[in-house]
Amino acid sequence: MTISTVDDDISATIAPLKDMPGALLPMLHALQDKFGHVPTDAVPVLAKTLNLSRAEVHGTITFYHHFRQHPAGRHVVHVCRAEACQAVGADALVAHAKRSLGCDFHETTRDRAITLEPAYCLGQCAIGPAMLIDDDIHAKVTPARFDSLVKGLRAGVK
Amino acid sequence: MTVTLYVSRDSAALALGAERVVTALIAEAAQRGAQIRVVRNGTRGMLWLEPLVEVATGSDRLAYGPVMPEDVPGLFDAGFLAGGRHALSLGPTEQIDYFKRQERLTFARIGLTDPLSVEDYQAHEGFAGLTAALAMKPAEIVETVVASGLRGRGGAAFPTGIKWRTVAGAEAGQKYIVCNADEGDSGTFSDRMVMEGDPLMLIEGMTIAGLAVGATQGYIYCRSEYPHAVQSLQLAIRLAETAGYLGKNILGSRRSFHLEVRKGAGSYVCGEETALLESLEGRRGIVRAKPPLPAIHGLFNQPTVINNVITFASVPFILAHGAQAYQDYGMGRSRGTLPFQLAGNIKQGGLVEKAFGVSLRELLYDYGGGTLSGRPIRAVQVGGPLGTYLPESKFDAPLGYEEFAKAGGTVGHGGIVVFDDTVDMAKQARYAMEFCVVESCGKCTPCRIGSTRGVEVIDRIVAGEKRDTNLTLLRDLCDVMVGGSLCAMGGMTPNPVLSALDHFAEDFAKEPVR
């Protein structure tokens, strides 16, 4: 029964977008916003709705860094590793983040609290290093600031 | 009497704690019984001063910054609501040297107004360009843009008016206006500042483009890394529609233009215009071969104007003041102004809008104040991750498209990333190749596979393995990438690599670390 419920949710999520020209990306965004990732079960539904092959849908999902095929942790932390942030210590921040979270990029901490992702520019290039926690942006992030933000996330404050 | 305060809603200000400052200001005012009104403006672009608090006093706005929540009681004690002196006093905002010496045509309103107020927009010349355009024939709009000398601000610098003329001349049932807001270049944030700080200006520019070429539908393709920009664009579109400046029958003219925001999904190559169109159509962002040009066969195979945010944002000024007023700024074939963005290891980072012709040295030292670390500047990357690294000997070249290219640089989107003398240029060269590995769309082999081989070859050079042979191999590989890639991703990745080699060869010749 659970499966058909998820299928219904998938159909309901994409239904309002089906008449949009070039609807696949908006649909994938809607699905990821709702489920936290694009469920595997959505692929045949999307293919049928948009008259595409499953391969085309799968290919599109995997092309874009933003779309994930598996659930993330409760929070997604993007650390910028582009040049402007590198110039002010992004590499050290990235190393610190991986060490203190005990996970690499594209991985989730053991307690499922945080998924760590790289970002290639968050547009805060004059005040780096920058990072994005879900949709909240932070600049001039030092390793100490990183730790306190992460502590806050785990304690449930943003 | 209610005192008006301005605290930016730009994501740079938010990233530095502006929200907490506003909360503190409101709480402190309530506690002291002071009447205040806080307007959330765009940012003035002096990002090292954010969060900046401005107080409206008579004719001037007085600036205080950077303000932390814990500074708020002290500001009240100092009587800042009446312009009282405080350690964070900066004087009248527009008299700050960094700001005063700019030539703000496109960014004239940003930081001054509430980005989500149509009234504020109108009170500061907003929609003057659109109103002028509605009184003109479509061909006159196009010719005005041609005469202004405006060139594509995304980096390719193609004459905007010529592109519009091509689309205007194409026969089709449906034409499109597409805004490339996939600002992925590190060191650039001017598009973001427009979208967050003056979104109505972008909407106005795109609407004018629609009138000029006969397009009734537009899309803004904004990167997913910019959630604040997406939100402010969506709100602004609704505001413009409600006020009659967008949608059906614009200002009773019986002409229509509809606009929609589409979110990218974290792909750098989608900033390449044909990959962007593929993505908008709902596919992988794979680059298309050109020709056919998007102006003839663009979005959904229809004639399409595709321009960068700053290009569209430059248009309202041109229509409101005439082509000549814009053309009067600049040098050579680079007319008008460019919002330069000072980024990386820089003391006074932010946005500087200047006429073309300013030198790097002036931007780096007179505006930027040198490095943040206080150490000497060793290398500067201009024009994003595909731009060249330049040593100090090139800092006097004037920033005009042709003039700067002659010095071996690329103006691109105007991003300037500063590195001090602790930078390892072999590492930067390696990163350029690594970035290409991550972001290549995969269509062209030299880009898709060459970048991986590039990382490996640089690793061998750094490790001291057959250095001379591998250096030759790296140059050969770069040559293949330049000649064998369809777009700038593979074709320009060699820029940072080769410039690092040419100007900073010593970093590739160090004793290997064992």
The ipTM value here is 0.96
Count Cβ atoms below 10 Å from residue B486 Cβ, excluding itself.
Answer: 20
Q: Tell me the C-alpha distance between B194 and B139, whole Å.
A: 27
With contact defined as beta carbons under 8 Å apart, do B377 and B418 qualify?
yes
pLDDT number for residue A4? 61
SS3 state at A71: coil
CATH code given to domain B330-420: 3.10.20.600
> What's the CA angle centered on A37, arms A31 and A43, to 5 degrees?
65
pLDDT number for residue A5? 79
User: Sheet of B304-308: strands edge to edge?
Assistant: B258-263, B217-222, B176-181, B304-308
- CB pair distance less than 8 Å for A139 and B15: yes
pLDDT number for residue A156? 81
Closest Cα of chain B to A69: distance in Å? Answer: 14
SS3 state at B292: coil
Residues from chain A contacting residue B225 (CB–CB below 8 Å): 78, 119, 121-123, 132
pLDDT number for residue A157? 58
Q: Tell me the mean pLDDT per 10 residues along chain B, length 514.
A: 96 98 98 97 98 93 98 98 97 97 98 98 98 98 98 96 98 97 97 98 98 98 97 98 98 97 97 98 97 97 98 98 98 98 98 98 98 98 96 97 96 97 98 97 97 98 97 98 97 98 96 78
Residues A141 and A98 reside in one and the same domain? yes
With contact defined as beta carbons under 8 Å apart, do A126 and B341 qualify?
yes
Identify the domain containing residue A113 by its residue range: 75-155
Using 50, 70 and 90 to split pLDDT, how confident is the model at A3? Answer: low
Residues from chain B contacting residue A64 (CB–CB below 8 Å): 264-267, 284-285
pLDDT number for residue A6? 83
CATH number of the domain encompassing residue A139: 3.40.30.10
**CATH fit for domain B118-327, picks 3.90.1640.10, 3.30.70.20, 3.40.50.11540, 3.40.50.2300:** 3.40.50.11540
A17 is a domain residue: yes
A11 is a domain residue: yes
Closest Cα of chain A to B143: distance in Å? Answer: 31
pLDDT number for residue B514? 64
Cβ burial of B39 (10 Å; 0-12, 13-18, 19+) is middle
Amino acid at A119: A
Pairing of the two strands A136-138 and A114-119: unpaired
Distance separating the N- and C-terminal Cα atoms of chain A? 36
A69 is a domain residue: no
Residues A83 and A137 reside in one and the same domain? yes
Average pLDDT of chain A, as a whole number: 95
Residues A141 and A80 reside in one and the same domain? yes
A70 is a domain residue: no
Query: Is residue B337 within a helix (H) or strand (E), and if so which, with residue range?
Result: strand B337-344
Residues A89 and A149 reside in one and the same domain? yes
Residues A144 and A87 reside in one and the same domain? yes
Residues A113 and A148 reside in one and the same domain? yes
CATH class of the domain defined by B425-508: mainly alpha
Residues in chain B: 514
With contact defined as beta carbons under 8 Å apart, do A86 and A79 qualify?
no
- Chain A nearest-CA residue for B434: A82
- CB pair distance less than 8 Å for B419 and A87: yes
Q: Which CATH architecture has domain B3-100?
A: 3-Layer(aba) Sandwich (3.40)
Is a pLDDT exceeding 70 seen at residue A158? no
A55 is a domain residue: yes
Residues A95 and A130 reside in one and the same domain? yes
- CB pair distance less than 8 Å for A127 and B349: yes
The residue among A18, A41, A63 that closes a domain is: A63
Residues A47 and A84 reside in one and the same domain? no
**Mind listing the pLDDT tens digit for each residue in A90-124?**
999 999 999 999 999 999 999 999 999 999 999 99
A142 is a domain residue: yes
Q: Tell me the C-alpha distance between B471 and B449, whole Å.
A: 18
pLDDT number for residue A1? 46
Residues A135 and A95 reside in one and the same domain? yes
For chain A, the domain total comes to 2
Name the residue ranges covered by the structural domains of chain B: 3-100, 118-327, 330-420, 425-508
Closest Cα of chain A to B148: distance in Å? Answer: 29
Query: Percentage of chain A with pLDDT > 90?
Result: 92
